Structure 1
Amino acid sequence: MSSLRAKIQDVFNEPACEQNRGKDAKARKKGCSKPLTPGAAAGGCAFDGAKIVLQPITDVAHLIHAPLACEGNSWDNRGAASSGPTLWRTSFTTDLTELDVVMGQGERKLFKAIREIQEAYGPPAIFVYPTCVTALIGDDIEAVCKRAAEKFGLPVVPVNAPGFVGSKNLGNKLAGEALLEHVIGTVEPDDAGPYDINILGEFNLSGEFWLVKPLLDRLGIRVRACIPGDARYFDIACAHRARAAMMVCSTALINLARKMEQRWDIPFFEGSFYGITDTSEALRQISQLLVKKGADPEILGRTEALIAEEEAIAWKKLAAYRPRLEGKRVLLNTGGVKSWSVVHALMEVGIEMVGTSVKKSTVEDKERIKQILKDDNHMFEQMTPRDLYAMLSEHKADIMLSGGRTQFIALKAKTPWLDINQERQHPYAGYDGMVELVRQIDLAIHNPIWRQVREPAPWDCQPAVREELPCTKSDTATLHAVQEFAGTTADDFGEN
């Protein structure tokens, strides 16, 4: 437990975070996240955050050392996609019971579970996650994992991030620490080259990274490791031989990017694959970092040629949507990198931004929003459901982009809604992803259902009851049909 406390303090004191550097020594020790409220979910616990970061490693067995409910509440918590292995979709848990806790059988049960997984599936590695219960009773998972690794001849990685230690974001960073300590650098590749890069904080939601990787392939750039989206254990173990890295979600794995730069001299930058301009800029910065690390400068010219070609194709496709979406107002209720990258992407096609949430955004994210929107009046730290409903019901926005938890607010306000968070069904990254995002917004806004649900109900159109409400022809016809049916009797149907 003392080693866990040391890791937590190290994560809180993050030198690569602008916000953290601006604090005094006392404030820095408290960390970046607000303390958890007892009894509240607080958007996810540290265990949930660690599982989010590591579960998309697709060929690894993820074993939860805990009572059954812990795994049941965290399984498949993101829409990450795999191009091959499906082992990560299998739920493994030691299913600890009260009797196991009382009799002190936790460590023995964990060792037995590791053996069963190794014999049945033969994975390249097993990740073991303790939760609140097993951490509080003092099960030494690091000792068990070390013994199992020696016994069965495969890596068994302890991910020490029990839920009670903090927020989901802290769990993200503790997962990065586990990779640094037990995985990255443990295998030496025999094919390292000058065009190898890492992509950090990319989760391949709905297969988004598959829209970006072909662009890198055309430039001859190989993704040594995408952490964690569609990753393989061997790729991550060799990630220390990449020449450059791109950080997609800084709040999740900034500590991983910084320490890899310190240990293995892998420079990184923070970028986004959302939007045409940001995708082009990300490709440029990747090429520039590779040239600084010794790659042939001719890649810069090939990058510009690729950007010009892809941008021309994307703008031609988007031209059809501009007349339909010009001046439409969007409310973005999300956070992190999407709080500025999606804003920039939508404004490129003439869509007006009436507000964007910055609850999970870093100081750098907020500064980017100010530069894009020219002020901070459209930024809100947190908007209550009541405020969201008031804004939408007053027609201050034509559509809301958010996660699934707030979709019913938009539906109640009879306003179009589009899922932009991890549960989304469509990929929005890269040039093709931007076209798909605009297409989905167009479909949502111009769906005829919204015109219908905003019309008065037929029973509200009776002249004697609500004379002030105008009725359409369809409303009047429906009302007459209802009245005619109400006047029928059982005899009309030939019944007694």
Structure 2
Amino acid sequence: MSSLRAKIQDVFNEPACEQNRGKDAKARKKGCSKPLTPGAAAGGCAFDGAKIVLQPITDVAHLIHAPLACEGNSWDNRGAASSGPTLWRTSFTTDLTELDVVMGQGERKLFKAIREIKEAHGPPAIFVYPTCVTALIGDDIEAVCKRAAEKFGLPVVPVNAPGFVGSKNLGNKLAGEALLKHVIGTVEPDDAGPYDINILGEFNLSGEYWLVKPLLDRLGIRVRACIPGDARYFDIACAHRARAAMMVCSTALINLARKMEQRWDIPFFEGSFYGITDTSEALRQISQLLVKKGADPEILGRTEALIAEEEAIAWKKLAAYRPRLEGKRVLLNTGGVKSWSVVHALMEIGIEIVGTSVKKSTVEDKERIKQILKDDNHMFEQMAPRELYAMLSEHKADIMLSGGRTQFIALKAKTPWLDINQERQHPYAGYDGMVELVRQIDLAIHNPIWCQVREPAPWDCQPPVREELPRTKSEAANLHAVQEFASTMADDFGEC
């Protein structure tokens, strides 16, 4: 536990984070996020963050050493996609019980589980995740993993990020530390070249990485490792031989990028593949870093030619949507890199941003938003559901882009909504991704269902029923008899 505490403190003192450097020593010890509320760690604990970063490594077996409930749903993890292996979506857990805890059988059960996975699936590596229970009872995960690796002849990687140590963001960084200590640099590739790069913090949500990789292929740039989206264990083990790196989400793996630069001289920059301008700028910076590391300068010219060609195609496709979307108002309720990159992307086609959440954004992200929007009046740290509903029901936005947790607020306010977070069904990265994002916004706003649901209900707009007078003496007599009978029944049995 002392080594774990030292590792956590090292992450808190991350020197590559400008926000962290601006704190005093006391504030730095508190980390990047608010402390967890006891009993409310599910979905936001360090274990969850570590598993989010590592699980998209597709050919690895991910073993959770914990009671059954800690495993959750492996199949639907964040919508990350794989071009091949599906082992990463198979749930492996030691299913620790109360009897195992009392009798001290945790380590024995873990060793047995590793052996069963090796015999049944033969993966190139096994990642082992302790959680709160197994960390508290003192199971020596690292010793078991070391012994299993020697016994079975394959890497068994301990990921020391039990939930109680901190937030999901901290778990992201602890996962990066596990890769640095046990994976990266353990295999020497025989095909390293001057155009190899790493992409860090890209999760391949809905296949977004597959929209970017063809652009790099056309430039002759090889992605040595995309961590973690659609990654393979061997690729990550060889990642130390890349010449440059791009950080897609700095809050997740900034420590990994910095330490790879220190150990193996791999320069990195932070960029985004959301939007036409940002995609072009990312391609330029990749080429420039490669040239600084010894690549042929002619790649700069080829990059500009590719950018000009792809931008022309994208703007031509977007021209059809501009008259339909120009001036439309968007409320963006997300965070992180999307809080500024998507803002920039939408403003490029004339869409107005009425608000963007910065709950999970860094100081650098907030500064970018201020530069893009020219003020900070449209930034909000957190908006309560009641406030979101009021804003949407008063028609201050034409559509809300957010995650699934707030979709029903938009639907209740009878406002179009589009999923922009990890559960989304469409890829929005790169030039083609930007066109797809605009197309989905257009479909959502102009869906004819909204005209129907905003109309009054049929029972609220029926004309009043006019009581007709009896036209003959017999009709009047019959009506009088019915009224007398009803009055008699009411006297005998009371009103209903």
TM bracket, shorter-chain basis: over 0.9
Q: Residues 386 and 194 from structure 1, CA distance in 2 versus in 1: closer, same or farther, beyond 3 angstroms?
A: same
Q: CA separation in 1, counterparts of 2:407 and 2:209?
A: 25
Q: Residues 341 and 469 from structure 1, CA distance in 2 versus in 1: closer, same or farther, beyond 3 angstroms?
A: farther
Assess if the C-alpha contact under 8 Å between 1:124 and 1:155 holds in 2.
Answer: yes
- Residue 154 of structure 1: how far off its partner (Å): 0.2
Q: Secondary structure at the match of 2:488?
A: coil
String of CA shifts for 1:334-371, please: whole Å, max 9, x gaps.
Answer: 00000000000000000000000000011111110000
**262-271 vs 476-485, greater mean Cα deviation:** 476-485
Query: TM-score normalised to the size of structure 1?
Result: 0.93
For residues 391-406 of structure 1, what are the structure 2 equivalents within 5 Å? 391-406=391-406
- Residue 72 of structure 1: how far off its partner (Å): 2.0
Q: CA separation in 1, counterparts of 2:477 and 2:288?
A: 67
Q: Residues 93 and 489 from structure 1, CA distance in 2 versus in 1: closer, same or farther, beyond 3 angstroms?
A: farther
Q: Which residue of 1 aligns with 2:433?
A: 433
Q: CA separation in 2, counterparts of 1:244 and 1:341?
A: 22
Q: Residues 85 and 397 from structure 1, CA distance in 2 versus in 1: closer, same or farther, beyond 3 angstroms?
A: same
Assess if the C-alpha contact under 8 Å between 1:461 and 1:469 holds in 2.
Answer: no
Q: Secondary structure at the match of 2:355?
A: strand
- Residue 439 of structure 1: how far off its partner (Å): 0.1
Q: Residues 293 and 395 from structure 1, CA distance in 2 versus in 1: closer, same or farther, beyond 3 angstroms?
A: same
Assess if the C-alpha contact under 8 Å between 2:176 and 2:255 holds in 1.
Answer: yes
- Residue 19 of structure 1: how far off its partner (Å): 0.7
Assess if the C-alpha contact under 8 Å between 1:47 and 1:163 holds in 2.
Answer: yes
String of CA shifts for 1:395-436, please: whole Å, max 9, x gaps.
Answer: 000000000000000000000000000000000000000000
Q: CA separation in 2, counterparts of 1:384 and 1:483?
A: 56
**111-120 vs 23-32, greater mean Cα deviation:** 23-32
- Residue 75 of structure 1: how far off its partner (Å): 5.6
Q: Residues 50 and 480 from structure 1, CA distance in 2 versus in 1: closer, same or farther, beyond 3 angstroms?
A: farther
Assess if the C-alpha contact under 8 Å between 1:47 and 1:168 holds in 2.
Answer: yes
Q: CA separation in 1, counterparts of 2:6 and 2:271?
A: 30
- Residue 262 of structure 1: how far off its partner (Å): 0.6
Q: Which residue of 2 aligns with 1:349?
A: 349
Q: Which residue of 2 aligns with 1:47?
A: 47
- Residue 32 of structure 1: how far off its partner (Å): 1.0
- Residue 462 of structure 1: how far off its partner (Å): 2.7
- Residue 463 of structure 1: how far off its partner (Å): 3.6
**289-298 vs 31-40, greater mean Cα deviation:** 31-40
* Structure 1, unaligned runs of 5 or more: none
Q: Secondary structure at the match of 1:72?
A: coil
For residues 220-231 of structure 1, what are the structure 2 equivalents within 5 Å? 220-231=220-231
Identity fraction in percent? 97
- Residue 478 of structure 1: how far off its partner (Å): 32
Q: CA separation in 2, counterparts of 1:115 and 1:32?
A: 38
Q: Which residue of 1 aligns with 2:360?
A: 360
Q: Residues 300 and 469 from structure 1, CA distance in 2 versus in 1: closer, same or farther, beyond 3 angstroms?
A: farther
- Residue 253 of structure 1: how far off its partner (Å): 0.3
Q: CA separation in 2, counterparts of 1:147 and 1:100?
A: 20
Q: CA separation in 2, counterparts of 1:147 and 1:62?
A: 18
Assess if the C-alpha contact under 8 Å between 1:65 and 1:130 holds in 2.
Answer: yes
Q: Residues 466 and 301 from structure 1, CA distance in 2 versus in 1: closer, same or farther, beyond 3 angstroms?
A: farther
Q: CA separation in 1, counterparts of 2:2 and 2:416?
A: 50
Q: Residues 487 and 381 from structure 1, CA distance in 2 versus in 1: closer, same or farther, beyond 3 angstroms?
A: farther
Assess if the C-alpha contact under 8 Å between 2:470 and 2:476 holds in 1.
Answer: no
String of CA shifts for 1:104-141, please: whole Å, max 9, x gaps.
Answer: 00000000000000011000000000000000000000
Assess if the C-alpha contact under 8 Å between 2:202 and 2:226 holds in 1.
Answer: yes
Assess if the C-alpha contact under 8 Å between 2:74 and 2:90 holds in 1.
Answer: no
Q: Residues 475 and 236 from structure 1, CA distance in 2 versus in 1: closer, same or farther, beyond 3 angstroms?
A: farther
Assess if the C-alpha contact under 8 Å between 1:330 and 1:353 holds in 2.
Answer: yes
Assess if the C-alpha contact under 8 Å between 1:46 and 1:172 holds in 2.
Answer: yes
- Residue 37 of structure 1: how far off its partner (Å): 1.2
Assess if the C-alpha contact under 8 Å between 2:276 and 2:311 holds in 1.
Answer: yes
Q: CA separation in 2, counterparts of 1:174 and 1:60?
A: 18
Give the superposed CA RMSD. 6.6
Q: CA separation in 2, counterparts of 1:42 and 1:171?
A: 13
- Residue 490 of structure 1: how far off its partner (Å): 25
* Structure 2, unaligned runs of 5 or more: none
Large movers: runs of 4+ above 6 Å:
465-496
Which of 1 and 2 has greater Rg? 2
Q: Secondary structure at the match of 2:356?
A: strand
Assess if the C-alpha contact under 8 Å between 2:63 and 2:128 holds in 1.
Answer: yes
Assess if the C-alpha contact under 8 Å between 2:225 and 2:231 holds in 1.
Answer: yes
Assess if the C-alpha contact under 8 Å between 2:329 and 2:399 holds in 1.
Answer: yes
Assess if the C-alpha contact under 8 Å between 1:51 and 1:74 holds in 2.
Answer: no
Q: CA separation in 2, counterparts of 1:473 and 1:214?
A: 89
Q: CA separation in 1, counterparts of 2:384 and 2:302?
A: 48
Q: CA separation in 2, counterparts of 1:194 and 1:473?
A: 105
Q: CA separation in 2, counterparts of 1:442 and 1:486?
A: 59
Q: CA separation in 2, counterparts of 1:474 and 1:398?
A: 61
Assess if the C-alpha contact under 8 Å between 1:111 and 1:144 holds in 2.
Answer: yes
Q: CA separation in 2, counterparts of 1:475 and 1:220?
A: 93
**97-106 vs 478-487, greater mean Cα deviation:** 478-487
String of CA shifts for 1:48-70, please: whole Å, max 9, x gaps.
Answer: 00000000000000000000000
Assess if the C-alpha contact under 8 Å between 1:460 and 1:466 holds in 2.
Answer: no
- Residue 39 of structure 1: how far off its partner (Å): 2.0
Assess if the C-alpha contact under 8 Å between 1:36 and 1:42 holds in 2.
Answer: no
- Residue 38 of structure 1: how far off its partner (Å): 1.3
Assess if the C-alpha contact under 8 Å between 1:204 and 1:210 holds in 2.
Answer: yes
Assess if the C-alpha contact under 8 Å between 1:456 and 1:471 holds in 2.
Answer: no
Q: Residues 256 and 488 from structure 1, CA distance in 2 versus in 1: closer, same or farther, beyond 3 angstroms?
A: farther
Q: Residues 151 and 397 from structure 1, CA distance in 2 versus in 1: closer, same or farther, beyond 3 angstroms?
A: same
Q: Residues 490 and 121 from structure 1, CA distance in 2 versus in 1: closer, same or farther, beyond 3 angstroms?
A: farther
Assess if the C-alpha contact under 8 Å between 1:460 and 1:469 holds in 2.
Answer: no
Q: Secondary structure at the match of 2:47?
A: helix
Q: CA separation in 2, counterparts of 1:118 and 1:363?
A: 45
Assess if the C-alpha contact under 8 Å between 2:74 and 2:91 holds in 1.
Answer: no
- Residue 248 of structure 1: how far off its partner (Å): 0.1
Q: CA separation in 2, counterparts of 1:35 and 1:129?
A: 22
Q: CA separation in 2, counterparts of 1:141 and 1:165?
A: 16
Q: Which residue of 2 aligns with 1:314?
A: 314
Q: Residues 495 and 283 from structure 1, CA distance in 2 versus in 1: closer, same or farther, beyond 3 angstroms?
A: farther
Q: CA separation in 2, counterparts of 1:422 and 1:30?
A: 28
Q: CA separation in 2, counterparts of 1:230 and 1:478?
A: 81
Q: Residues 460 and 194 from structure 1, CA distance in 2 versus in 1: closer, same or farther, beyond 3 angstroms?
A: same
Q: Residues 399 and 483 from structure 1, CA distance in 2 versus in 1: closer, same or farther, beyond 3 angstroms?
A: farther
Q: Secondary structure at the match of 1:487?
A: helix
Q: Secondary structure at the match of 1:185?
A: coil
Q: Residues 431 and 467 from structure 1, CA distance in 2 versus in 1: closer, same or farther, beyond 3 angstroms?
A: farther
For residues 163-174 of structure 1, what are the structure 2 equivalents within 5 Å? 163-174=163-174
Q: Residues 102 and 278 from structure 1, CA distance in 2 versus in 1: closer, same or farther, beyond 3 angstroms?
A: same
Assess if the C-alpha contact under 8 Å between 1:13 and 1:28 holds in 2.
Answer: yes
Q: Residues 20 and 480 from structure 1, CA distance in 2 versus in 1: closer, same or farther, beyond 3 angstroms?
A: farther
Q: Residues 98 and 284 from structure 1, CA distance in 2 versus in 1: closer, same or farther, beyond 3 angstroms?
A: same
Q: CA separation in 1, counterparts of 2:471 and 2:260?
A: 66
Q: CA separation in 2, counterparts of 1:144 and 1:177?
A: 19
- Residue 484 of structure 1: how far off its partner (Å): 27
Q: Secondary structure at the match of 1:204?
A: coil
Q: Residues 77 and 468 from structure 1, CA distance in 2 versus in 1: closer, same or farther, beyond 3 angstroms?
A: farther
**114-123 vs 476-485, greater mean Cα deviation:** 476-485
Q: CA separation in 1, counterparts of 2:82 and 2:478?
A: 50
